[in-house]
Amino acid sequence: MDANFRFYAELNEFLPKVSQYQTLHITFKDCQSVKHLIESNGIPHTEVDMVLVNGQSVDFSYLVRQGDRVAVYPVFESMGISPLLKLRPAPLRVARFVLDGHLGRLAAYLRMLGFDALYRNDYDDLELAQISAEQKRILLTRDRGLLKRSLVTRGYCLRTRDPRQQLLDVVRRFDLFDQIQPFTRCMACNGNLRPVDKAEIEAQLQPLTRRYFQEFSHCDRCGQIYWKGSHHEHMQTLLAWLEESDRN
């Protein structure tokens, strides 16, 4: 059997250059679900928001038939498609993430912005998929195969290795600018930060820190202490860059 597939907008980034932005004639044996045929072309189902077959909206379980015309669309931000079947789950009221082992810097940046970002460098793929499903966390990775696991319903495939650009892409993709609460989460362990009186932690401070700084935060999980030193200034610069990038 064969069918015609057309992938739209940024979904073409997953296709070979010779196949981008054109109708693809796909041949397959027996009955195949539209989800299987989409992913066999390298596109994780987590990147797809809507599928039309012969002009009609279908879900991932639809079995593609001989001669079908299949149009596959990514997430829509500005186009109203409420009469049609959106395949991505409803956005989480509070965005929470789990990241694969190659994204430690991105995890730290997300925590810096106040987002719950679960990260360990020794999670295997099955653990990541289970955590994403059971805890309703958005799985962030550059591994397309990981996002193709049936357990995963919320995920995003990062297109770049640059952590700053990754952060911007995630904030834009999930429309998180209004949810940013900087310096409220521990960058080391993901715990919550709370203001703490200097007198409570003074014995733990180095002499110069004790002398020159007066405002401190304390992680309620690991005990890490934070103050407005040079690292704080670096983070302020990153926040300013995010805000400027959002305006452009």
Measured CA to CA, the distance from residue 11 to residue 46 in angstroms comes to 11
- How do the domains of the chain map onto residue ranges? 2-73, 96-184, 193-234
Nearest to 180 by CA among 245, 134, 83, 88: 245
The single-letter code of the amino acid at 244 is: E
Identify the residue whose tokens are 């992938």: 7
Whether 164 and 55 have beta carbons less than 8 Å apart is answered as no
Convert the pLDDT of each residue in 104-153 to its tens digit. 999 999 999 999 999 999 999 999 999 999 999 999 999 999 999 999 99
Measured CA to CA, the distance from residue 196 to residue 173 in angstroms comes to 35
Other C-beta atoms lying within 10 Å of the C-beta of residue 178: 5
Token pair belonging to 147? 């996002």
Q: Name the pLDDT band for 79 (thresholds 50, 70, 90).
A: very low
Q: Can you tell me the mean pLDDT for 83-91?
A: 65
pTM for the whole structure: 0.82
Residue 179, φ and ψ in degrees, nearest 5: -100, 0
Whether 213 and 227 have beta carbons less than 8 Å apart is answered as yes
Q: Is 40 helix (H, G, I), strand (E, B) or coil?
A: helix
Other C-beta atoms lying within 10 Å of the C-beta of residue 24: 14
* pLDDT of 40 above 90: yes
Beta bridge partners of 119: 99
Convert the pLDDT of each residue in 153-162 to its tens digit. 999 999 999 9
Q: Strands 138-141 and 155-157, how do they pair?
A: parallel
C-alpha distances out from residue 52 to 10, 37, 58, 60, 129, Å = 17, 14, 6, 11, 27
Contacts of 65 (CB under 8 A, 6+ apart): 1, 3, 31
CATH label, 2-73, candidates 3.30.9.10, 2.40.100.20, 3.40.640.10, 3.10.20.30 = 3.10.20.30
Convert the pLDDT of each residue in 161-180 to its tens digit. 999 999 999 999 998 988 99
